[in-house]
Structure 1
Amino acid sequence: MKTTRFTTMSAAILVTVFSLGSLSACGGSSSASGSDPASGSQQEITIATGNDGKPFCSMNEDGEFDGYDIAIMKAVEQKLSKYYKFTFEGSDFPTTLSNLSSGKAQIATYEYENNAERKAKFTYGTVGLTKWDTLIISDPSNGKVYQSFDELKGKKIYVTTATNQAAMAESYLKEHPDAFKLVYGTYSNEQIVQGLTSGSYDATLAPQYSLDLWNNAFHKGLKGSDKAVNKSSSYILFNKSDDKNLIDRVNKAMADLKKDGTFKKLSEQYYGADYVPED
């Protein structure tokens, strides 16, 4: 999928970035060197994120990156402006991980939950972004409110490609082959809701705030399971080879922003309620 590049750098900084990119291609990127930038300069950090993942990370009407994840990273940048300049590389969800693993980006933010595959490849941030307790969500007018995976026998379930929701459904299917059919995609919120209400699939997996967002934005009566089928939070990701100073500073800045109420304020702004995890 074609990516979107957004930056406000001057021509002089662009020359510097080109030089850093050349070093990276030779295995000598300063982002993984463990050293600080020269006095009075900023190290450019590229953040892989979404360009159509509203309300987390997307392009707004002005062609700028916006959303909860973006706002948090911009707040982190303000706290660390002595050291870093952040720019964003937008793509779909799976490509953000490819951009991070290839070294095209040093940080990725797109509501990543913990799973074994990602833990093996990346370093997770230590501060949770959003509660991601997963519910089974459906349109009751097309059938029923499903309370467990067992109740989904013979049904079609939409999951966004490469997400934790896809992984947990796939894990269930390994133990219960052909229990239900998975429909994969990278759909927008509107497309997900249209699929549920039209009966293209019977249910999807998502957290409470997504359910609230869909019902409020599209005036629907979607329902979620009474209890979460999985409890989780989302985090940012770093490459395992990233500069330890960068990782430590970003984690510390995020912890401070969470403590001073910035996370809660941004959650209420972008989600309409406080969905900040306690961890």
Structure 2
Amino acid sequence: MTRSARTAALVGALLVVGLGATACSGTAGASGDGAKDGKVQKIVVATGASPKPYTYLDDSDKLTGYDIEILRAVDKKVADLSFDFQVAEFPALFAGLDSGRFNIVANNLSANEERKKKYDFTDPYLEAQFGVVVKQDSGVSKVDSLQDLAGKKVYGEPGLNFTKILESYNEQHPDKKINIEYTELDLQSQYNNLAAGLVDFEFNERVVFDGYGKKPELKLTFVPIDGQYLTKDFGTNLQSAFAVSRQTPNREHVEKEINTALQELAKDGTLKKLSEQFFGADYSVPKQ
């Protein structure tokens, strides 16, 4: 069986098992007032297992990544919570939060204003650097604003923060639009197609570029964009956090426990260590 086939099979199996267990037990985490009566409350954590290195399946088909290992470290610190990790397609993550099937989504989510209307978010654990990825011979060495990319073609995935920024730009500049080609291609295929000239650029984070586009044979380069500009003009939140379903039992207690553990992991250097392990640099927040 090929690597991709094994991964697809595992994702399907995990999803079926997860949904089956949920169907039998009702709302995820509904084991009762775990924080109040001494019982351990199960917290169902959903992830799309992409993008790498935030969340992914390794060569042994084990779920790992920066987001995942942070929650495993939190799990060790919090006695009355137990994390059950499940894999689902990205669109299903939000549907699961809406229904209460999933208590938490761990998928490098930006806590933007639209999402905060529907979900709670933990304290942030990472601050990203956004930018564009272009071919090394493209002649693009600096991007002062998205207007510099007007008329160029880029892949967009519905629902992603990156795509929402581009859509917002197009709404603000109808006469200088960026050509968004919506796709369900995986990230590696997107970067391969960029190298082949099928699109003009990718709009992403530096660490995602490092995970998919930094391969020497692709001859791609990352050009950063000022984060303050993106925040001011498009309301972008460059910090990532875990999304929490408002249907989670003992929600306030769960969030307090996780946030306290995150603060401890920042203080003892665990977040920095994990960031350097997965990204090669310290992008963790809060920094001590």
Q: Which residue of 2 aligns with 1:151?
A: 148
Amino acid at match of 2:159: A
1:211–1:223 CA contact under 8 A, matched in 2: yes
Does residue 5 (structure 1) correspond to residue 10 (structure 2)? The answer is no
Q: Which residue of 1 aligns with 2:65?
A: 67
Q: Which residue of 2 aligns with 1:203?
A: 201
Distance 2:97 2:44 in 1: 9
Amino acid at match of 2:63: F
1:50 shift after superposition: 1.8
Q: Of 261, 274, 278, which aligns to 1:266?
A: 274
C-alpha spacing 1:67/1:152, structure 2 compared with 1 (3 Å): same
How many residues in Structure 1 have an aligned counterpart in Structure 2? 265
1:112–1:235 CA contact under 8 A, matched in 2: yes
Gaps of at least 5 residues in structure 2 are 1-7, 232-237
C-alpha spacing 1:145/1:196, structure 2 compared with 1 (3 Å): farther
**TM-score (normalizing by structure 1):** 0.83
Does residue 248 (structure 1) correspond to residue 246 (structure 2)? The answer is no
C-alpha spacing 1:125/1:87, structure 2 compared with 1 (3 Å): same
Amino acid at match of 1:235: A
2:55–2:107 CA contact under 8 A, matched in 1: yes
| Residues 209-218 or 240-249, more deviating | 209-218
Does residue 99 (structure 1) correspond to residue 93 (structure 2)? The answer is no
After TM superposition, list the pairs within 5 Å mapping 1:135-214 onto structure 2: 135-145=131-141, 147=143, 148-177=145-174, 179-214=177-212
Gaps of at least 5 residues in structure 1 are none
1:137–1:203 CA contact under 8 A, matched in 2: yes
Distance 2:153 2:85 in 1: 35
2:34–2:41 CA contact under 8 A, matched in 1: no
Distance 1:94 1:77 in 2: 26
Distance 2:109 2:225 in 1: 24
1:116 shift after superposition: 1.9
1:259 shift after superposition: 1.5
Q: Which residue of 2 aligns with 1:236?
A: 242
1:145 shift after superposition: 3.7
1:50–1:110 CA contact under 8 A, matched in 2: yes
Distance 2:212 2:285 in 1: 21
Distance 1:59 1:37 in 2: 35
Give percent identity, aligned residues only: 26
2:45–2:85 CA contact under 8 A, matched in 1: yes
Distance 1:162 1:235 in 2: 16
1:241 shift after superposition: 3.3
Q: Let me know the Cα RMSD of the aligned residues.
A: 2.9
Distance 1:119 1:47 in 2: 18
Q: Which residue of 1 aligns with 2:5?
A: none
Distance 1:254 1:83 in 2: 16
For residues 22-71 of structure 1, what are the alpha-carbon distances to aligned partners after superposition, in whole Å with 9 as ceiling and x for unaligned? xx39xxx637x6552643x4221110112232211122232321111110
Distance 1:143 1:199 in 2: 14
